[in-house]
């Protein structure tokens, strides 16, 4: 009797790219200042306004003009409250900034005001974060501030050419618990912004608006463009691009892939999950490699985890964490790597019996034996290669083992010879599972005859084989039992098998009909599809299921022989 029984166990970098896949951008505000000269900006609606369900208008001092002429010693703002989980991009195009050391500015503010003197430094429009451009005659550098007002500030170094028009950009990242900000600038004719500062807040700023400000009446200039956008990830795994569950045999090579798009240069880290704990795969292991590739036509990136010479210890759940230069992160689905192997093998012969245990020659889950076993002629006719089971001796219990992986598949095979008496008084085979399923095959265990029994579960269906032949197929629903013991020749209900057992094997995958047949016959079959045509020899002069130089030598010999009939000319 064999029974499976449960065992008790117990630096800030942001960059929004323009190549590959672009980030998903939602335009909250966009304004081109195409209104008439000498008309007030206050109360004007934006060219594009998707910030809220109601239309929003500019709140501005009377000196700010609809054609973009900058106001004097005041601010112009639009309502805006950032939400966690996004990057917000604020841009403005500053043109013809003329004057002394005073300035024009763009930034996020604590609120709105039409009052003179409300200009990002204090009051209702206190800025955080913001940046300013000084007049063309200034000898001072432009500046940026995290806020509030002019606190936590830096000079822009380098400050761009005073005679040139400039574009300013502020990126506010609300994804982290403590928000981050980055400031950028470029000349109007340039395509790419340069980063000029970065900061992480210890306390998130109270932002309620975004807009423009003028430092003093001695500065003039024009605003050509203003925009505020909400940016979502430009890093995404394509449909069917997540890693897939895979199963390989020992010493083969396993590969898990993730295929994705990214607007900027990506990086990837593969991790393994062990319970609730995850850790990076050990790339110092020469068997493990993480390779990256890019298809310029499809604009797709691929990250591959490759494990060569796979062993049982590599089995587990893996996933990939992707990052890119935009500071976006995506986590792939988890994929299971199954290593198909024989996880338990108890030959039950005298040679595999040591110190009161049947040795497991595959998984080292040895079985503690009751009494002094008697070894008899085995199923292959070899003396002392099978164990005789009685009520008081020969039966055993193994150490716990995992008989199936994440797929839930397993196979169990054994040879049994029933003596015809004892507690089992009928020659029936009963296959009983922990989850309540039981099947009886009448007359299967003929008295004093060896029978080969194999039970296979493919994750859905259970199959029973007797002497290599399929005799039953039924749907099974397994129990969730992470570790099991093998009770050899007995059960926890004090039942025992009166007879002999030989060659018990457990696999963590579903054997095929052909594999079951080969286990029964003891033969080795070559399953190479081209073996009959090309495997014609080997080191001993006979086919060996390997096509190599031995087979080539036979072909070359025939190439040097004339095959014309009736004679060569």
| Omega before residue 566 within 30° of 0, cis | yes
Torsion of CA 309, 310, 311, 314, to 10 degrees: 140
Model confidence at 542: pLDDT above 80: no
What whole-number distance in Å separates Cα of residue 245 and Cα of residue 400? 25
Contacts of 340 (CB under 8 A, 6+ apart): 247, 248, 249, 250, 507, 508, 509
* pLDDT tier at 50, thresholds 50, 70, 90: confident
Say if CB 130 and CB 215 are below 8 A apart: no
Asked: is 24-232 a CATH 2.60.120.560 domain? The reply is yes
Token representation of residue 345: 């093998």
Three-class SS of residue 535? coil
**8 A C-beta contact, residue 338 and residue 407:** yes
Overall pTM surpassing 0.95 (yes/no): no
Q: Are 333 and 319 in contact (CB under 8 A)?
A: yes
CA–CA dist 14, 474 (Å, integer):
57
CA–CA separation, 525 vs 70, rounded Å? 87
3-class secondary structure, 519: helix
Digit-coded pLDDT (tens) for 310-321: 988 898 999 999
State how far the Cα of 319 lies from the Cα of 296, in Å rounded to an integer.
Answer: 25
Q: Tokens at residue 344, please?
A: 């338990």
CA geometry: angle 194, 203, 159, nearest 5 deg: 25
Cα(89)–Cα(26) distance, rounded to whole angstroms? Answer: 10
As a residue count, the chain comes to: 569
d(CA 265, CA 250): 35
pLDDT reading at 568 higher than 70: no
The answer for 341, left when phi > 0, alpha when psi is -120 to 50, beta otherwise, is beta
Q: Using one digit for the tens of pLDDT, what is the confidence trace for 245-282?
A: 998 888 899 999 999 988 788 999 999 988 778 899 99
Q: Tell me which fold the domain 235-337 belongs to.
A: Immunoglobulin-like (2.60.40)
Range with lowest mean pLDDT among 33-42, 213-222, 404-413: 404-413
For residue 264, what pLDDT is reported? 80
pLDDT of residue 486: 83
Q: pLDDT tens digits, residue range 191-225? A: 878 889 999 999 999 999 999 999 888 888 999 99
Q: Left, alpha or beta for 404 (phi > 0: left; psi -120 to 50: alpha)?
A: beta
pLDDT-derived band at 22 (thresholds 50, 70, 90) equals very low
pLDDT at 205: 96
Output the CATH code of domain 341-521: 2.60.120.200
Give the domain ranges of the chain.
24-232, 235-337, 341-521, 530-569
pLDDT value at position 441? 56
Q: Do domains 235-337 and 341-521 have the same CATH topology?
A: no
Q: Are strands 374-376 and 367-369 parallel, antiparallel or unpaired?
A: unpaired
b/e map of 341-357 (b: 16 or more CB within 10 Å)?
Answer: bbbbbbbbbbebbeeeb
């Amino acid at each position: 009797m064999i029974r499976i029984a449960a065992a008790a166990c117990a630096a800030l970098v942001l960059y929004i790219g323009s190549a590959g896949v672009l980030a998903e951008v939602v335009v909250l505000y966009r304004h081109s200042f195409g209104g008439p000269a000498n008309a007030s900006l206050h109360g004007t609606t934006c060219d594009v306004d998707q910030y809220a369900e109601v239309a929003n208008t500019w709140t501005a001092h009377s000196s700010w003009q609809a054609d973009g002429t900058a106001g004097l010693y005041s601010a112009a703002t639009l309502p805006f409250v950032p939400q966690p989980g996004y990057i917000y991009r604020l841009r403005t195009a500053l043109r013809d900034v003329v004057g002394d050391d005073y300035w024009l500015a763009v930034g996020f503010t604590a609120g709105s005001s039409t009052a003179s003197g409300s200009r990002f430094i204090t009051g209702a429009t206190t800025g955080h974060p913001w940046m300013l451009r000084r007049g063309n005659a200034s000898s001072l550098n432009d500046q940026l501030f995290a806020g509030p007002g002019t606190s936590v500030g830096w000079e822009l170094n380098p400050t761009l050419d005073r005679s040139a028009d400039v574009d300013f950009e502020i990126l506010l990242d609300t994804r982290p618990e403590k928000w981050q900000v980055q400031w950028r600038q470029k000349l109007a004719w340039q395509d790419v912004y340069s980063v000029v500062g970065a900061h992480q807040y210890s306390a998130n700023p109270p932002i309620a608006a975004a807009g423009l400000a003028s430092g003093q009446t001695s500065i003039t200039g024009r605003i050509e463009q203003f925009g505020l956008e909400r940016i979502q990830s430009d890093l995404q795994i394509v449909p069917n691009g997540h890693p897939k569950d895979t199963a390989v045999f020992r010493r083969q090579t396993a590969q898990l892939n993730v295929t994705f798009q990214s607007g900027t240069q990506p990086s990837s880290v593969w991790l393994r999950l062990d319970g609730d704990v995850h850790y990076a795969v050990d790339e110092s292991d020469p068997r493990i490699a993480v390779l990256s590739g890019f298809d310029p036509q499809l604009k797709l990136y691929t990250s591959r985890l490759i494990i060569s010479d796979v062993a049982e210890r590599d089995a587990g759940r893996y996933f990939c964490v992707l990052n890119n230069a935009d500071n976006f992160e995506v986590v792939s689905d988890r994929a299971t790597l199954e290593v198909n192997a024989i996880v338990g093998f108890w030959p039950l012969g005298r040679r595999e019996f040591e110190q009161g245990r049947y040795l497991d020659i595959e998984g080292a889950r040895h079985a503690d034996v009751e009494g002094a076993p008697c070894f008899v002629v085995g199923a292959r006719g070899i003396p002392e290669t099978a164990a005789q089971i009685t009520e008081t001796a020969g039966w055993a219990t193994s150490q716990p083992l995992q008989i199936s992986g994440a797929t839930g598949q397993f196979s169990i095979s054994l040879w049994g010879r029933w003596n015809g008496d004892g507690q089992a008084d009928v020659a029936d085979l009963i296959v009983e599972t922990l989850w309540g399923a039981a099947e009886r095959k009448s007359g299967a265990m003929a008295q004093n005859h060896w029978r080969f029994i194999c039970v296979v579960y493919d994750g859905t269906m259970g199959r029973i084989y007797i002497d290599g032949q399929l005799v039953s197929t039924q749907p099974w629903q397994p129990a969730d039992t992470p570790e099991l013991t093998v009770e050899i020749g007995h059960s926890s209900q004090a039942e025992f098998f009166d007879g002999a057992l030989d060659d018990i094997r457990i696999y963590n995958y579903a054997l095929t009909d052909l594999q079951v047949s080969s286990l029964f016959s003891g033969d080795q079959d070559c399953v190479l599809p081209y073996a009959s045509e090309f495997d014609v020899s080997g080191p001993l002069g006979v086919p060996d299921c390997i096509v190599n130089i031995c087979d080539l030598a036979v072909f070359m010999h025939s190439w040097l022989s004339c095959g014309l009939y009736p004679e060569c000319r």
